[in-house]
Every structure is written in C-alpha cells, then in structure tokens.
Amino acid sequence: MALFMILLPLLMAAVALAFPVGRGRPWRPWLFPFTGCAHMALALLALAGIWPESGGVWFALDAPGRIVLLQVSVLYLCCSFYAVGYLRTRQESPNRIFCACLLAFLGVMDLVIWSQHLGVMWVAIEATTLLTAPLIYFKRTRESIEATWKYLMVGSVGIAVALLGTFFLAYSMVHVGPDAPLTTTALLERAPQLSWPWVQAAFVLLLVGYGTKMGLAPMHTWKPDAYGEASGVVGAMLAGCVTSCAFLALVRITHIVNAAGGEAFTSRLLLCLGLFSMAVAGVFMAAQRDFKRMLAYSSVEHMGILAVGLGLGRAALFGTMLHILTNGLTKGVLFLSAGNIHRAYGSKNTDQVRGVLRRLPVSGGLFFVGFLAITGSPPFGPFVSEFSILMGAFAAGRFVIGGAFLVLLMVVFAGMGRTVLRAVQGRAPAQGPGAGSVGPAGPAREGLLLVAPPLVLMLLVLLLGIYIPEPLRVLLQDAARFLGAQP
Amino acid sequence: MTSILNAILVVVLVMNLFVLGASRIHAVIRIVAAQGALLGVIPLLVSEGLRLPTVLVVLATVTIKGVTVPGIMMRALRDAAIKREVEPLISRLASTVLGAGAILLALLYADNLPVTGPHAELLLVPASMATVLVGFILLTTRFTALNQIVGYLVLENGIFIFGMLLVEAMPLVVELGVLLDLVVGIFVICIIVNHINRAFSSLDTRQLASLKE
C-alpha cells in the first residue's frame, strides 16, 4: 500500500518526463487530475483500513500521519485541476520539468507521511525542497531566481541541521543498545532510557531544522520571497502541503522527546517559537502592500499557531490536529484565488490591484471569504480549531499564553484586513501599468478550472466549521490520544 | 586504529582552517574535495570487518565528495567565468582566527556530552562540531554563490563525521540516500548559479536584494 502510493506519482512523473509532446496536443497537464484522483482513492482506502498495510517496520501510517495524508490528498486533488487551467494560460513556456516535479513532489510527500524511519523521513523532506525549487523558478524572472536561491540555501542549511539532530537522536539510542532501528516505534519503546543530554541537543537541532522548513520565525526569511514569486498553485502546495509535512516530522520528534521525559522542555521551546512567529507575522503583515507576501506571513502565523498548540500539550492536541486540516485547505483557497487575481491584474501590489470584487467577482469573493476564514472568523473551520486550541490553553491553566495568543490573533486580523480590503474594495483602475492588465474595468472572464477548485476547498472549510463528520472526528481523536498518551 | 583515525580527524580540522584562509576559489574547492575524500575512507577504519555495504558506501562517498561534486562546481566556475578571488565579509585572517575559536569551543562542549565506551578516545564528536561551525562561518561571511556552496559542503562534511559514530546503528541504505540528496542538491544549486550569473552577470549574492520589506 505504502509503496504503491509512493511509486504511483513517481511513475507519472517519469511519464511526464519521458514523452515530449508538441504544442498541439497539450495532454501532459491532465496527468495531474488523473494522479490526484487515483491518489485520493488510495488514500481513502488506506484511511478506511480496507487495504491491509504491509510496509514492514519502516513504512506505516500513524495517527497524525492519517490527518496529514487526508489534508494533502484533498488539497492536491483540487490543485491538480487548477494546474490544468493554469498551464493553459501559460502555453508559451515549456512545462515538462514543471509537470514532472509537481508529480514527483506528491510521491515524496507520501514518503514523508508513511515513513516511520527518521532517516528515511529526512531524505524525503530534503527531496521536497529539491523538487519544489524548479517549481518556484518556473517564471524565469530575476526575482524568481532570487527567491529560488534563498529558498534552496536557507532550506538546505535548515535541513542539514535537522540531519545532525537526527544523528544526535540516533546516538542517544546507542547508549541503550547498538542494534535498534531508528524508527519511531523503537525510539518510543526505549524512550525512558535514552541519553538525555543527547536528546536535548537533538530536539533543539531538529526544531531549528524542521522549523526552517515549516517557516517558523526567525527561520522564516525564505518564505515571503518564495511564496511571493511562486505561482498560485505552487504557493498552495508549499503553504498547504510542505509545511504540513514538516510539521508532521516535528510532531513525531516532539512525541518521542516527550516520552523521554522532556515535556516541560519541548513545551517551553515550542511555545516561545510559536508565539514569536505569530508576533513577527503580525508586525510584517501590518504594512504589507504585496498580497502574496502577506499570505506568506499568514502562513508563518499559522505555523506559529500549530507550534503553540503542540507546545500546550494534551488539552490542545485535538485543536492542533484539526488546525492542520483547516489551515491547509484555507491556504489552498487563498493562494489559488490570489493566483487568479495576480494574473488578471499583472501585479500583486495593492497600489495597482483595486476593486477585485467588481473585476473578478468569484475569485475576489473567494479571496475575501478565505481571508475571513483564515483569520478565525466564525463559522469557518479555522475558527473551530483556533478556538479549540485557545480553550486547551485555558483548560491547562496557561492564561498568559492564552491571552497572548488571543491578542496576536487580533493584531493579525487587523493587519491582514487592511491589505485585503484595500485590494477587494473600490473601483478597478481603468488601465493598470502591469503587462497582464487587459480588458476594461468590468468583470473579467474566469475559467471554470481556475475557479471551481478554490470554491470546492472553500465549501470544505465551511463544512469543517459547521459540522465535523463522525469518521473524521474519530481520526482526530485518535491522533490526539496517540500524541497525548503518557508512556 | 584509533590513532590513525584521530590523525585523519586532525588533518580534517587543519583543512578547515585552510579553507577559511585560502584566497582563491579554486584552492577552496580543491581543499574541500580532499577533505570529503579523506572522510570517505573513515568507515573502513570504524567498522569491524570488511563488508560489502561498507565498501559500497566508501566508494560512493569518495567518488561523490571527492570527484563528482567538485567537478560540478569547477564546471559551474568555468561556465560562469567569474572572479577568482574569495571576497569575505571579514578578512581571511580574522575568519581563520574565528575558525580556531570554533574548534576550541567544540572541544570544550564535546566534553559535556556522554560518549559510549568504544568512542571515548576518538575525536569524532569535537571534530564534527568544529567542522559544522566552520561551515556556518563560511556560509555567513562569504558573498559569492559558489563560496556559499562550499560552506554548505563543509557543513555536510561535519555532519558526515558525526554519522561515523552510527555506522552500526543506521542502515547504510539511508546513508546512500543522504549522499544522493547531496549530489542532486549541489546539481540543482549549480544550475541556479548559472542562471543567476546569466541574469545578473555576477555571482555576488549581495545583488540578490530586490525582494525585501
């Protein structure tokens, strides 16, 4: 099962690479919806437990992994249809590498989700960095080179630090006995006997390393550049999938260190970094004119929320797991609709982008509603998950943390609202200075493939806010119980 | 065995200082290649008995760290036709002194970490930490793209040294995966380097400053 899910996208990537097609028959992008649907079906089979797992010790689906698998599959499925529409608007640029990387990317994300071996998981996360670099560089402008360079350098150094942390954790186990595999199950079994100085050092390195990949402040510097220059669909993938996978890695590590008796230690570090990320995001969002960079800071903020939730421990774990889902899906809505707006105006600066609601009623509306959802307004999904984390903070007696969390959420709401309202309200400029601004100030055409995917995602986010289906609730509770259980 | 291994590690530490002090980028790349190749041999000394997977890892490491990666970088250097001098933020002498300080710090810190019996007399832990720190110094004080890649390679070498403590514990498959990632990473980075050079007619990363708040 695991191998099948990992190999299917890689096979499709090979197909995309192997067959050169002329401009006349652009069938290559249709590999995305095919892979997305097949992958979704496989994921549902795996989640329902219909297909027996036979991945050995290295590959298995743990409870938090199920949540991330569900989120990644749904987001990828929606993005896969959008990608077809997107590549249609960019028929002049060759898309062979783009398609192959975007397909293989799904395979390595599955590898992250399924791998229980920390070394394999590291290799997979590094592979996501390498595969997404060409995606960011797709537009081939000077700015996109700069963004790609920063993304590659910061990401690679961060991930190298994570490798050192993985080695430290492995060495802490050498003290127990030489012949133990570096799998999460083996580490959890031996957790109380692990050498504490090494575990402590390992956690700091792993937090910095995987935190870089998540985009926790102060290691977030690559994020605004990369998200700002990447196209909407790639931005959605980075903000919704890569960050979730990196967070999954951090969840697994924290679980092990907590089991080794380091709960106070991990909680302190996670809460500090989490609240600091939220604060940094709030500050930089306040005066932001570029709406894609604003979304990047929103992603920094939500990674902070996830870290805070994980740091609060048992009481907030249900909300944290739910927040993986709601944040990932809402980021999809925002980035995909932002991509449509960017394309229609040829600019992502709110000095030029005005009156989106008049010019692009559907994308503009989705962008605005997505903004309401991501900032935690009821009745959308993120409201429920953030509220649940907040309640967790108060239930655990962490009133200062809960208060700071609430204040920072309001700061972010105010800062983000200013930029979003500037963009969506008012009248569209008759003829913008950007290259892509064509047509009159009236409503522009919006293709079905470019509008339906964010709409579907938006409806899912709304659904999660109103009613959580029973099977999903069971999955979330399983994950929270699995992570909160004391050895 | 222990004395040979420690001797190699001392040579590696000295090479770190040479990297910090070298004035021409060709020399820097060559020193890092030699360092990588030297490190590649260590698994033979650490593991007991000669087994096929160990030999494979040694061959792969020496080829990749000593030949392939420096080859890719030399090629990027030739294609880009860039300035040959290293241009550090702080002078080469100062960064060498800083590197020596890092080595001292690593030796002091490594004393605090518990090490199991067979590894007690080895310099692996301090050598690894010192090399990682030197990698960070290179990454933060050099401006040209290729020099930053060198810093990244030194960082990787430091991590590789630590990996030697785990030759028995970590399956070698994973180590091969790590090596593969390194090669692909450097390859992708070098492609980007060429694009930077074409778009900006320079490899000075200070020019990559249009994206900021």
Q: Is residue B213 part of a domain?
A: no
Residue among B75, B38, B114, B109 at smallest CA distance from B194? B75
Whether residues A171 and B166 touch (CB distance < 8 A) is answered with yes
If you average pLDDT over every residue of chain A, what do you get? 89
> Is a pLDDT exceeding 50 seen at residue B2?
yes
DSSP string, A121-137: HHHHHHHHHHHHHHHHG
Q: What is the mean pLDDT of chain B?
A: 84
| Residue A440 confidence (pLDDT) | 46
Residues A85-110: tens digit of each pLDDT: 998 888 877 888 899 999 999 999 99
Q: Torsion angle of alpha carbons A89, A90, A96, A98, nearest 10°?
A: -90
Which residues are A59's β-sheet partners?
A115
pLDDT tens, residue by residue, A147-206: 998 898 899 999 999 999 999 998 888 877 767 788 898 899 888 888 899 999 999 999
Hey, of A57, A129, A140, A174, which one would you mutate to test binding to chain B, going by the most B CBs within 10 A of its CB?
A174
Q: What is the pLDDT of residues A202-230, one digit of tens each?
A: 999 999 999 999 999 899 999 999 999 99
List all residues 6 or more positions away from A314 whose beta carbon is below 8 Å from its beta carbon: A392, A396, A480, A484
Q: Is B21 part of a structural domain of the chain?
A: yes
**Distance in angstroms (rounded) separating the CA atoms of residues A153 and B15:** 23
Q: How confident is the model at residue B196 (pLDDT cuts 50, 70, 90)?
A: confident
Question: In terms of CA atoms, which chain A residue is nearest residue B148?
Answer: A153
Whether B43 has a pLDDT exceeding 90, the answer reads no
pLDDT at A436 over 50: no
The pLDDT confidence band at residue A437, using thresholds 50, 70 and 90, is: very low
Helix (H, G, I), strand (E, B) or coil at A19: coil
**Which residues are bridge partners to B85 per DSSP?**
B24
Number of domains in chain B: 1
Closest listed residue to residue B122, CA positions, set B33, B113, A206: B113
Those residues whose C-beta lies under 8 Å from the C-beta of residue A297, and which sit 6 or more positions away, are A223, A224, A280, A281, A284, A285, A288
Residue B184's domain comprises 2-207
A456 touches chain B (CB under 8 A): no
Which tops the pLDDT comparison, B49 or A94?
A: A94
- Judged against a pLDDT cut of 90, whether residue A236 lies above it is answered with yes
ipTM field: 0.92
Residue B60: pLDDT band (50, 70, 90) is confident
Higher-scoring residue by pLDDT: A104, A286: A104
Decide if B183 touches A, using CB distance below 8 A: no
Decide: helix, strand or coil at residue A96.
helix
Residue B91 lies in a domain: yes
Average pLDDT in the A422-440 region? 62
3-state secondary structure B149-193: HHHHHHHHHHHHHHHHHHCCCCCHHHHHHHHHHHHHHHHHHHHHH
pLDDT greater than 50 at residue A439: no
Give contacts of A 176-235 with B, CB under 8 A.
178-182, 195, 197-198, 201, 224-225, 228-229
| A10 three-state secondary structure | helix
Q: Which of A143, A114, A14, A122 is closest to A56 using CA atoms?
A: A114
Enter the pTM of the model: 0.94
* Residue B198 lies inside a defined structural domain of this protein: yes
Tell me the longest C-alpha to C-alpha distance in chain A.
72
Mutation site, A59, A143, A153, interface B, largest B CB count within 10 A: A153
